[in-house]
Structure 1
Amino acid sequence: MSSYRDAHPWANEKTEAAAAVSDDERLVLAFFADLSSGDPEKLAPYFAPDAMYQNMPLPPAHGAEAVLATLGALFSVMSMDSIETLYLASRDGFVFTERVDYLTALPTGKSFALPVTGVTRVVDGKITAWRDYFDLREFEEAVDLPLRQ
């Protein structure tokens, strides 16, 4: 699979703008790296008990157990092959990322580079909120896998 930046030369995860400069940013990047495990239990230590996760515009999951169940359901239909973080910034516990998620739909075997903007809230070393914004229709069409109910 070719890199997203092959088609978009401005997308370069090797710049200083993609490097973590705070503990919160390092935590978020480590979490993104561990997403490729496809194992919700490996991700559990990252979340506060009252964490919230939402792929916009899908409904949110509230509470760490619900977040992990949602991730488990996602991992049953897609693999997170890798994440290229292009730009990273944070302030007051909010970590903002512009990235490209490389995914494969397990039922179809189709892979897709998905541009994503995310906001992750970190409090006391735990993720308390995580929201990702992407074009759901573009994803569904690319991998022939509807996520909306």
Structure 2
Amino acid sequence: MPVDQITDRTSEVEQTVYGMWAALSARDWDALKGFLAPDCIYLDMPVGPAAAARGPEDIVKRLKIGIAPLASYQNFPGLMVSNGVDVMYEHHEEWHWATGESAVLQFVTVHRVQNGVITLWKDYWDMSALADHAPPSWLADFAEADMSWVFDATGLV
């Protein structure tokens, strides 16, 4: 279901989350930043809070490492449950590399939305689903990337 049809039936908090994911799916980095609070914390739970990113600029730096080099990337909406501030979102992503490899990644994401922006973003997913399907250079490319975004969120999330 297209995001514009979904948002007709959802709360403002849910629309914020759907909007952020639509911006990410389009790799519209500037639009994505607009959905994030200045002190938003983003982390991949398989990696843990010691390798989080904080703030829109650093979150985008972090996301670009994995997503920007892809030949195509798309997020597909799924089940969303909200208590008015906290949102759990079950969805999946499809990653395609120019070298022909592809991966389907199943996610459950937890967001906290306050005053119309996302203040916390935690992704729960199976990292082996990516590592098993990515090109052999993927981990090496990640290891050589700009890591200036790393923020230790231990004790904050």
Alignment TM class, shorter chain as reference: 0.7 to 0.9
Richer in strand (by share): 1
CA deviations over 1:47-70 (Å, ceiling 9, x no partner): 110011112223210222211211
Structure 2 partner of 1:97: 89
Aligned residue pair count: 133
Helix, strand or coil for the counterpart of 2:26? coil
Distance 1:98 1:79, change over 3 A: farther
Distance 1:79 1:26 in 2: 27
Q: Give percent identity, aligned residues only.
A: 26
CA shift, 1:80, in A, is 5.8
TM-score of the aligned structures, taking structure 1 as reference length: 0.77
Once the two structures are superposed, residues 43-95 of structure 1 have per-residue CA deviations (whole angstroms, 9 ceiling, x without a partner) of 11111100111122232102222112112222333366322222110014111
- Provide the residue aligned with 1:127 in structure 2: 118
Q: Which residue of 2 aligns with 1:10?
A: none
SS of alignment partner, residue 42 of structure 1 = helix
Structure 1: give runs of 5+ residues left out of the alignment.
1-12
- Residue 25, structure 1, aligned to residue 18, structure 2: no
Query: 1:65-80 maps to which residues of 2 (within 5 A)?
Result: 65-78=57-70
**With structure 2 as the length reference, what TM-score do the two structures score?**
0.73
Matches of 1:21 and 1:82 in 2, distance apart? 21
The aligned residue for residue 39 of structure 1 is: 28
